[in-house]
Structure 1
Amino acid sequence: MRRALVLSALLGLLTGCAGTPSDPSGTWINQTAIDAASKSGKLREALLAYGPNLEWQLDSKNHQASYSNGFEKGDGQLSQDPSDKKRWQVAFYGSKQEALQLDGKQLIQVGGDNWPEQRFVRPEQQPTAQTPLGATFERALYGSFLKGTWVIAEGQGQGSKVSFQPDGRIEGMPNADRYALCLAGDCAAMTGNNDSIWLQQGRQGREYLFQREDDQIELFEAVNRAQADEMPEYQPGQRVWLLKRD
């Protein structure tokens, strides 16, 4: 009887600890942006609305915090708020700081002058220590935004089945074995409000603009409207492929 009471007390203690986590260590991804993009089909619009940060990697033991916005990466020093164990501060080089807060199973990046509040969740499986910063978000996005099997309804390879793998591999697409979605940076600046995808085979590749609506994707030639001495400014040209989800 005494042993049962001791075990019951220990279980209660463990359950209490598990229910009030205060250590944010690990990888967190912007699942809200992924869900919004997957539902609407508008990738850039979702990233702008719910970003800009897409992933955090936190290590409370070593006081380290890193973030990725799909193009830039930043490293800062992580410290806990002495008055609230669920609040954390990230100090970057110079005067820039970010406030983080644990809210149940979510990590909140507190809103500031530059952007609104952002919410992050832990991925279903924590990545290994060797996983590059930002890769976990990218994998989750690819697995949701382009999930399933697609059939080429129009264009080269008509009738073929195409599969976009979460790790960036593509199967069934003519002259392409890798792909990458544009998340931010130069590719976004050159395509404006248009979504773009990079298709590559071996060392050769090129960008296409695309529109995803429900269960179909249209891929267009990326036509440069800028002058030779200006940054490229791509606009949709001729439609190259029409893919429909099988």
Structure 2
Amino acid sequence: MIDYLVQTFTAPDAWAALAALIVMEVVLGIDNLIFISILTNKLPEHQRSSARRIGIAGALILRLLLLGTIAFIVQLTSPLFTVFDHGFSVRDLILIAGGLFLVWKATKEIHGHIEPEADDPSPTRRGKMPKGTGVGFAAVVTQILILDAVFSIDSILTAVGMTDYLPVMFIAVIVAVIVMLIAADPMAEFIRRHPTIVMLALGFLLLIGTTLIAEGFGAHLPKGYIYAAMAFSAFVEALNMMARKSRRPKSHAAPGSASEPPSSAS
């Protein structure tokens, strides 16, 4: 075992694969993190961090277990049945089911933000998620774990396609999940404080869900185009946020106003 590790990490291509795989796993983890942030922000404030940690820990456990059964994961791409000359594997069925779930969940969340009275008769306060949806801690964690399973399979298959070194895969997955854990609370808080970002993130989830369905049906879409579109949308939204901030009226104390200290008597 020690000799295998030494041989692995003395190979130059192993370090190059590790760097590339860490970047790829972190990028793939953004999808999962957006979903976790939106779901946990619907919980009471004291439960949000716990739900995020449980969800991300679930992602780590699932990915490490899947890496431990790498031979089985590779076989998930073998066709089970054929429909209209297209063979469907276990991976395809999981991607289709996960994509449909993601599209349904994102659509439901968008409807809840556009028409909050359907869930809560009281007006939704600015910057707050709609309340009264009846979403419980266990339900949120369950939904997170379901999507963790989908994203984990996609992540592991990506790792298998990039390198043959199993220790490199383990390190890359662990590093990516640690990054997710560190970024979870700041991202969730940022999404909570900016309602337009919530809608943009839900739009991303719709895009990701549609992409998963397309991949399940054999339409392999280059992820670079998808993430480039998402990055451009995020850039445009950042410009909009800067423009809104610059248009906000700034309070200046007028000369002679009460805010100025009285002049000393001569």
**Common fold by TM > 0.5:** no
Whichever structure has more strand as a proportion of its residues is: 1
TM-score normalised per structure 2: 0.26
Higher RCO (CA 8 Å, separation ≥ 6 residues): 2
TM (normalized to structure 1)? 0.28
Which of these two proteins has the greater Rg computed from alpha carbons?
2
